[in-house]
């Protein structure tokens, strides 16, 4: 099936491939969006508190495109795309999305998230940077081994467990008892929601397969390294669910949900996306040498800047701070293509 798809895409003109990439990114985002909506609604029906949904299910759902793209890329031997997508998504989430959300509206900071998930967010980024260092690998370059990937997945399970435990001991736990009554609680509706969830997952996976192969062919034709495209175009495309969630949350006056979602997504990009991609490959993920010059340093800088802005006095991320984060993102984009 994959060979047939590759042979079909190879004969298409480059312009058509670019259009296919665009459509794939849209369907990827739509599939993840439907998945999030249905999972949240189903969780509310089952009495799961909103805080648990925001800290785990929403972030897991919006990170699904990164997971599917990176895992499939790793299986197909495209480690550059797998790792670049994860690191690029962290930079896009924290720089572009938080920056844009702060500019277009009020972006409140939940101090509870800052003190707990915020520390894990920075720690996860630093862990990824350390594991990527060449001196920890047997070969000449950096390599995130399968064992490291499995450890990341174990840390993911611990993170989810701790998040649930934290939410249960706070005063912010809510149970929407009226939600199921408003939406109907019949078995037929629940079955339909489950069907929609699996349909959305299928859409994400199929879109990912088409996207990966289209980008691979296009990158070869235009002479741009896959690592650069993965860290920019693909990373932006797979971050669309977070972008849509953040913009909608800010417009509805729930900017704190946008901050929480991005913090959770950054953590999952390391533990879930990189962990899954490394765990499914026997040789692990090789780290391109150019990542030590730009991608990894930018990831650390933007995470530390975001951490600084959320720790200062005041309950919001200001528009100036949003412009600063967006500035880092656009400088990063420019340098990616200037250093090819």
Give 307-333 pLDDT, tens digit per residue.
999 887 667 899 999 999 999 999 998
Query: Is residue 153 within 8 Å of 271, Cβ to Cβ?
Result: yes
pLDDT of residue 241: 75
Looking at residue 181, its pLDDT comes to 46
The alpha carbon of residue 278 and the mean position of all alpha carbons in its chain are separated, in whole angstroms, by 16
Helix (H) or strand (E) holding 188: helix 187-222
CA distance from start to end of the chain: 33
How far apart, in whole angstroms, are the C-alpha atoms of residue 63 and residue 79?
18
pTM of the model: 0.78
Quick one: CA torsion of 44, 46, 49, 51, rounded to 10 degrees?
-60
Q: pLDDT at position 332, please? A: 93
> Residue 59 has what pLDDT?
77
Q: 264: closest CA among 173, 163, 144?
A: 163
Q: Which of 204, 212, 202, 194 is nearest to 29 (CA)?
A: 204
Q: What is the mean pLDDT of the chain?
A: 81
Cα–Cα distance for residue pair 37/152, rounded to 1 Å: 27
Spans in the chain with pLDDT lower than 70: 1-2, 36, 39-40, 42-44, 46-56, 113, 137-140, 167-188, 313-314, 340
**Residue range of the domain that includes 264:** 2-338
Where does the chain show beta strands of DSSP type E? 142-144, 285-287
pLDDT at 173: 46
Q: What is the rounded CA–CA span in Å between residue 245 and residue 323?
A: 19
Burial of 238 (0-12, 13-18, 19+ CB in 10 A): buried
For residue 323, the model assigns a pLDDT of 96
- Domain count across the chain: 1
Q: Tell which residue, 56, 77, 58, 2, has the closest CA to residue 277.
A: 77
CATH number where 158 lies: 1.20.1420.30
CA 323 – CA 85 distance, rounded (Å): 23
Token digits of residue 135 = 């001196």
For the segment 114-139, what is each residue's pLDDT rounded down to a tens digit?
778 889 999 999 999 999 998 876 66
């Amino acid at each position: 099936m994959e060979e047939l798809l590759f042979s079909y895409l190879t004969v298409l003109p480059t312009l058509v491939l670019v259009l296919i990439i665009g459509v794939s990114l849209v369907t990827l985002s739509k599939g993840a969006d439907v998945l999030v909506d249905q999972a949240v609604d189903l969780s509310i029906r089952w009495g799961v508190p909103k805080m648990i949904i925001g800290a785990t299910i929403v972030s897991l759902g919006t990170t699904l495109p990164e997971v599917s793209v990176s895992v499939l890329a790793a299986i197909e031997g495209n480690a550059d795309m797998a790792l670049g997508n994860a690191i690029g998504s962290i930079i896009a989430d924290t720089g572009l999305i938080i920056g844009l959300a702060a500019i277009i509206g009020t972006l409140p900071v939940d101090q509870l998230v800052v003190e707990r998930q915020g520390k894990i967010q920075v720690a996860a980024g630093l862990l990824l940077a350390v594991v990527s260092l060449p001196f920890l690998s047997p070969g000449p370059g950096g390599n995130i081994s399968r064992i490291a990937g499995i450890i990341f997945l174990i840390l993911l399970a611990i993170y989810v467990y701790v998040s649930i435990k934290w939410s249960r001991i706070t005063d912010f736990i809510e149970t929407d008892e009226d939600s199921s009554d408003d939406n109907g609680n019949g078995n037929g509706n629940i079955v339909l929601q489950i069907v929609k969830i699996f349909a959305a997952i299928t859409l994400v996976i199929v879109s990912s397969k088409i996207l990966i192969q289209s980008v691979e062919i296009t990158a070869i034709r235009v002479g741009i390294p896959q690592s650069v495209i993965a860290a920019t175009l693909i990373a932006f495309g797979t971050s669309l669910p977070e972008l849509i969630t953040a913009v909608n949350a800010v417009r509805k006056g729930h900017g704190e949900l946008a901050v929480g979602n991005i913090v959770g997504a950054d953590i999952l990009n390391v533990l879930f996306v990189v962990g899954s991609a490394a765990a499914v490959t026997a040789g692990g993920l090789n780290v391109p040498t150019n990542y030590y010059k730009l991608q990894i340093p930018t990831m650390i800088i933007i995470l530390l800047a975001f951490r600084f802005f959320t720790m200062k006095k005041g309950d919001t991320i200001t528009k100036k701070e949003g412009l600063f984060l967006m500035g880092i993102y656009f400088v990063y984009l420019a340098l990616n293509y200037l250093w090819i």
